[in-house]
Amino acid sequence: MPTMADVARSAGVSVATVSHVLNDTRPVLPHTRQAVLEAVDALGYTPNTLARSLVTSRTRSIGLAVSAISNPYFTEILQGVEATALDAGYSLLIADPHDDPAHERKVVQLLHERRVDGMIVAPSANPQDLVAYLGRHAVPTVLLDRVLPTGDRPTSAPHLDQPSPDQPCFDQVCAENTGPTARLVTHLAGLGHRRIGLVAGLAGLSTTSERITGYRQALAAAGLGHDEALVVSGNSESAAAERATAALLSLPAPPTALVTANNAMTIGALRALRRLGLAVPDDMALCCFDDFVWADLFSPRLTAIAQPSREIGAQAVRVLLDRLAAPDRPARTVRLPCTFVHRTSCGCPEDRDEAQGPRPDGPGGRTEPSALSEKGTAS
Ligand code: HPA
């Protein structure tokens, strides 16, 4: 393997000059720079990042631990993380904790042992061990999608209510959940529905509790009573949502409209409806949290909340890089607004103009930034 010294000898310059050219650490005369790059090319030199890491104690790598990587929501997040990290000169090490607390703790330790400079983690519903590990080892970390309470939000994880040495405050990046879910419920109530069901996600995730809060707030605002029987758990996945939807439909007074709290659960709910021979929207109106590329290919086309998934990933990297640059800065939570994509599964008629085809930038539908999103970014 050619070394930097070989490059220096071949270009007739010092090793320091080679280093300045390759790392852009000091201006170098154009013809000298050219000679170095030609020597690099001719010798087939590649920098030894391991050797550099030993000197700098930095690996210029980020560990990413997100579950359900095959879910389009998380795949798009991954794309945002990857592109932004690459732009900043960082590579990624990726792990899937499978939403299992023990596995989560293990993969995060493995990433840490590989000496990633920082981590981006979508925590499981029981992240105590994870949080303790990250805190104990002071790993610069951004929590993604599922956030820990910062004191200003309701949560179904009361054991995490108070920050403690074991639960340090983390930087966090997520989407708005409460307002956008309320937007769906308000829309259905406006169409005259009085019994609106919710297929909710996995208990213990902030996304689940915030979406339930949004559902309840909108029912109250519409003057509709709250019937606990209309909220069922789909565990954030399709099969459980299918069972939960079937249970809702077998109630003595079933709902006339459904809100599904993520894309996987929308699929499950649609399966249950089809099995029972029920048509959307005539027998059951449907509004979904999560838009995805096929959402306007369903018949009817799905009225949905679109999350800024790619931007969530990109923003998580930016927040992590800020943290690496200024380790003592106060932790912050960044919440990104969602978009209401109005199609026809809610029971609204097809808009001729909309039916012409998809928007250039995504699935067709009339979009409207979620009016209820509280702020683009917040501390
Ligand atoms: N969180 C938020 N949105 C989602 C998820 C999740 O875990 N899965 C699918 N959409």
Q: Is the CB of 236 under 6 A from ligand 1?
A: yes
CA dihedral 337, 342, 344, 349 (to 10 degrees): 160
Q: What is the CA radius of gyration of the chain?
A: 25
Q: Of the residues 290, 302, 336, 338, which should be mutated to test ligand 1's pocket, given the most ligand atoms within 8 Å of the CB?
A: 290
* Torsion sign over Cα 375, 160, 198, 240: positive
Say which DSSP state 307 is in. Answer: P
CA distance 207 to 114: 30
Which residue's CA lies nearest to atom 10 of ligand 1? 262
Q: Which atom of ligand 1 is nearest to the CA of 290?
A: 10
Q: Is the CB of 76 under 6 A from ligand 1?
A: no
Q: Ligand 1 centroid to 29 CA: how many Å? A: 51
Q: Ligand 1 centroid to 111 CA: how many Å? A: 23
Q: Of the residues 96, 209, 262, which should be mutated to test ligand 1's pocket, given the most ligand atoms within 8 Å of the CB?
A: 262
Q: Ligand 1 centroid to 28 CA: how many Å? A: 49
CA distance 341 to 365: 6
Which residue's CA lies nearest to atom 8 of ligand 1? 262
Q: Is the CB of 242 under 6 A from ligand 1?
A: no
Tallying the residues shown for the chain, one arrives at 379
CA distance 321 to 119: 10
Which residue's CA lies nearest to atom 9 of ligand 1? 262
Per-residue pLDDT of the chain (379 residues; tens, 9 = 90+): 899 999 999 999 999 999 999 888 899 999 999 999 999 999 999 988 887 777 777 889 999 999 988 899 999 999 999 999 999 999 999 999 999 999 999 999 999 999 999 999 999 999 999 999 998 999 999 999 999 876 433 333 333 444 554 455 899 999 999 999 999 999 999 999 999 999 999 999 999 999 999 999 999 999 998 899 999 999 999 999 999 999 999 999 999 999 999 999 999 999 999 999 999 999 999 999 999 887 778 889 999 999 999 999 999 999 999 999 999 999 999 999 999 999 999 999 987 544 444 444 445 666 765 544 332 233 2
| Strands 141-144 vs 118-121: parallel, antiparallel or unpaired | parallel
Q: Do domains 4-47 and 178-307+338-369 have the same CATH topology?
A: no
CA distance 7 to 3: 7
According to the model, what pLDDT value does residue 56 have? 78
Q: Of the residues 69, 71, 233, which should be mutated to test ligand 1's pocket, given the most ligand atoms within 8 Å of the CB?
A: 71
Nearest to 211 by CA among 140, 134, 136, 307: 307
CA distance 151 to 162: 8
According to the model, what pLDDT value does residue 196 have? 98
The superfamily in CATH containing domain 61-174+310-336 is: Response regulator (3.40.50.2300)
Q: Where are the domains of the chain?
A: 4-47, 61-174+310-336, 178-307+338-369
Nearest to 131 by CA among 147, 145, 116, 115: 147
According to the model, what pLDDT value does residue 47 have? 83
User: Would you put residue 68 in left (φ > 0), alpha (ψ -120 to 50) or beta?
Assistant: left
Nearest to 99 by CA among 70, 79, 119, 77: 70
Those residues whose C-beta lies under 8 Å from the C-beta of residue 300, and which sit 6 or more positions away, are 280, 281, 343, 344, 345, 350
According to the model, what pLDDT value does residue 360 have? 41
Residue 294 sits at φ, ψ, to 5 deg, of -95, 0
According to the model, what pLDDT value does residue 370 have? 52
- The secondary element (H helix, E strand) that includes residue 273 is helix 263-275
Say which DSSP state 160 is in. Answer: G
CA distance 312 to 334: 9
Q: Is the CB of 290 under 6 A from ligand 1?
A: yes
CA distance 175 to 363: 19
According to the model, what pLDDT value does residue 257 have? 98
Those residues whose C-beta lies under 8 Å from the C-beta of residue 347, and which sit 6 or more positions away, are 191, 257, 281, 282, 285
Q: Ligand 1 centroid to 59 CA: how many Å? A: 30
CB 142 within 8 A of CB 319: yes
Q: Ligand 1 centroid to 146 CA: how many Å? A: 9
| Whole-prediction pTM | 0.84
CATH 2.40.160.210 fits 178-307+338-369, yes or no: no
Q: Ligand 1 centroid to 174 CA: how many Å? A: 10
Q: Is the CB of 262 under 6 A from ligand 1?
A: yes
CATH 1.10.260.40 fits 4-47, yes or no: yes
Nearest to 81 by CA among 142, 124, 148: 142
